[in-house]
Structure 1
Amino acid sequence: MKKKILITLGLLFSVFLLAGTAYGFYLYKSVTDTVSEIHEPIERVTEKREEEVDVDNREPLSFLITGVDSRGDHHSGRSDTIIVMTVNPEEQSVKMLSIPRDTRTDIIGRGTVDKINHAYAFGGVQMAMDTVEHFLDIPIDHYVSINMEGFKGLVDALGGVQVNNSFAFSINGHTFPEGELFLSGEEALAYSRMRKEDPRGDFGRNDRQREIVEAVIQEGAQISSITRVGSILNEVGKSVRTDLDLDGMWKIQDKYRDARHNVEQLEIKGNGTRMNGIYYLEIPDEERNRVRLELRSHLNLH
């Protein structure tokens, strides 16, 4: 009898071991397939760094996160969400700066002065990175481009995200009361797009966009999300593009992950103006220099 019990337990253990191995292989293949799908390298050398960031030694680095307002699986159009994220693992901190889409600046590589969100439409992510680098005088090391229409699928795959709404408003059939809210993907997209009812206009909209991005980062890092890994990877493959390969992602996740616990939201202010009937946001030199110095300090650039 004891022998039969031991044999039965041994068989069950073998089944569980094989199932775990198979699931592990499935996860590995799913991750590698997704990374291959979203990996879009660019040939670009920044003039803002003398040497490439040493990830192994945990040197601070920066990302440009662009939300492209396009339909379907396409990643073309204007980048209506522009977020610069700097990560300093030694300080265990992240700074996130939203650049208003109407900001008037030099479009690098085109030789014109225009709204900053036009850079992506004119020259893709490379022109967007070059333009933001010039505008802030900091290096942009990596990019993450998100199709905002597909972004709602990612939020749903994560099981929703939590935000803290500063005032009540309604938009596109959705009502958002003041206080802590748990949002579905469709609700998160509507929440991040609202600006007409916000007395701060684009600045308030930028705050909500950063809040949603941060919430996705925090939720995606939770162990509970592993149970939804298949659907998460599927949505990432449809809505995200980045220059990082699998090795780069593993290294950054390993060396920089603790920094996500301390996220500071930054804001850059300007004055609205009209030129030839077109609205622009003019950023004063002293304001741009203030933000520049804060970001350079966070990147240990002096």
Structure 2
Amino acid sequence: MSNEELGKTPKKFKRRIRWGRLLLFIIISIALVAGSFFLGRMAFRILFAPKVPVVAATEDIGTDEILNKRINVLLLGIDDGDSEDFGTDAPKRTDAMMVVSFDTEHNEVSILSIPRDTRVSIPGHRAPDKINAAYAYGGINLAKQTVANLLQIPIHYYILANWQGFIQVMDILGGVDLYVDHNMNYEDPYANLKIHLQQGFQHLDGEKAGEYVRFRHDELGDIGRVQRQQKFFKALASEFFSVGNVVKIPSIAGALAKNVETDMDTLTMIRAANSFKLFGGERVQSEMIYGDFKTIDGLSYWVTSPKQVTKSLDELKIPHRKIEKI
């Protein structure tokens, strides 16, 4: 695949969305948050576009039958600000990234979180960069290629979600009760971001929940944020499935209609839902890719190695090619 092709974002077109598909995808999306960090950016829009090809690692990884027995989905979260601008061509770095791998044969799901500051090689770019730059440089295809090369697995589908839908969903659900471990105070006027949370038990509405899962200005940085997001979304999943919230699904679907795009078809969603067993989740494993904080040329990175990436994938039982470089 050429660099020019990698840089193209597939042309999208809309179809009428059926409520059955919305319901199924909402359930999958909410269920996946248990044990993951990504779906803090969770929102909802199904755009049936011309198929984005399965992206394999540089070494024709897609030829191995065992690797393609699983469904690997790249989940990307971006902060678009105004949902009206979602999906435009303006360069944006992803704010969150994870790979969800569905084993449809054994009904198991593995979730690998990739910190946004992970230092990687991006195809077509000479110097290593943070992995969250891949989408800004070349759209969804380059993001998929970069992740496929890092993990040495095929990426079959993607889900791209905007931040705004998450806030709306939280308000519809009525928020969640959660213990905040320490005071969180941070302001960024350029990003229109204000975070002010006090230590202790809190009831988090949409805005406050957004502050909680976005905060990363403590000693653990992005890694601490990943841990808080895991904690929060387990509580969110529990709240979603509580008595009384099922009737809110139409409102949730409407609120999220402008905030997610995907190339997953209905049959694949059904297979994925079956793997997850929806209301169980006992066979869901989640990990964050192993690595270490390092400062290189004045920039902070999450630096991983072939050995650490291999360990991350092996612990989740995700088949992969031999990883020789990052």
TM-score range, shorter chain: 0.7 to 0.9
Deviation at 1:196, TM superposition (A): 1.1
Deviation at 1:279, TM superposition (A): 3.1
Match of 1:188 among 196, 209, 212: 209
Question: Which residue in the other structure is 1:12 paired with?
Answer: none
Question: Which residue in the other structure is 2:261 paired with?
Answer: 241
Q: Give me the whole-angstrom Cα distance separating, in 2, the residues matched to 1:288 and 1:63.
A: 18
Question: Which residue in the other structure is 1:225 paired with?
Answer: 245
Identity across aligned pairs (percent)? Answer: 28
Q: Give me the whole-angstrom Cα distance separating, in 1, the residues matched to 2:74 and 2:240.
A: 19
How far does the alpha carbon of each residue in 1:73-131 deviate from its partner, in whole angstroms, 9 at most, with x for none? 21451102112222345655433322121211111354552110000111112211111
How far does the alpha carbon of each residue in 1:261-291 deviate from its partner, in whole angstroms, 9 at most, with x for none? 444331222231222x433332233222211
Match of 1:50 among 58, 63, 67: 63
Closer/same/farther in 2, CA of residues 115 and 42 from structure 1, 3 Å limit: farther
Give the letter for the 1:227 counterpart: V
Equivalent pairs counted in the alignment come to 269
Question: Which residue in the other structure is 1:270 paired with?
Answer: 292
SS of residue paired to 1:79: coil
Deviation at 1:152, TM superposition (A): 1.1
Give the letter for the 2:210 counterpart: L
SS of residue paired to 1:189: helix
Q: Give me the whole-angstrom Cα distance separating, in 2, the residues matched to 1:89 and 1:41.
A: 24
Task: Provide TM-score, normalisation by structure 2.
Answer: 0.68
Question: Which residue in the other structure is 1:121 paired with?
Answer: 136
Give the letter for the 1:133 counterpart: A
Match of 2:222 among 197, 202, 215: 202
Give the letter for the 1:130 counterpart: Q
Closer/same/farther in 2, CA of residues 182 and 145 from structure 1, 3 Å limit: farther
Q: Give me the whole-angstrom Cα distance separating, in 1, the residues matched to 2:21 and 2:314.
A: 43
Deviation at 1:162, TM superposition (A): 5.5
Match of 1:293 among 314, 319, 324: 314
- Do 2:184 and 2:197's aligned partners in 1 also have CA atoms closer than 8 Å? yes
Q: Give me the whole-angstrom Cα distance separating, in 2, the residues matched to 1:212 and 1:159.
A: 14
Comparing 259-268 and 146-155, the one that deviates more: 259-268
SS of residue paired to 1:140: coil
Give the letter for the 2:315 counterpart: E
Give the letter for the 1:271 counterpart: F
Q: Give me the whole-angstrom Cα distance separating, in 2, the residues matched to 1:214 and 1:108.
A: 35
Give the letter for the 1:208 counterpart: R
Closer/same/farther in 2, CA of residues 292 and 195 from structure 1, 3 Å limit: same
Q: Give me the whole-angstrom Cα distance separating, in 1, the residues matched to 2:285 and 2:176.
A: 18
Match of 2:166 among 151, 176, 179: 151
**Larger-gyration structure (1/2):** 1
Unaligned runs of 5+ in 2: 1-17, 27-43, 186-193
Question: Which residue in the other structure is 1:71 paired with?
Answer: 81
Closer/same/farther in 2, CA of residues 216 and 160 from structure 1, 3 Å limit: same
Give the letter for the 1:190 counterpart: E
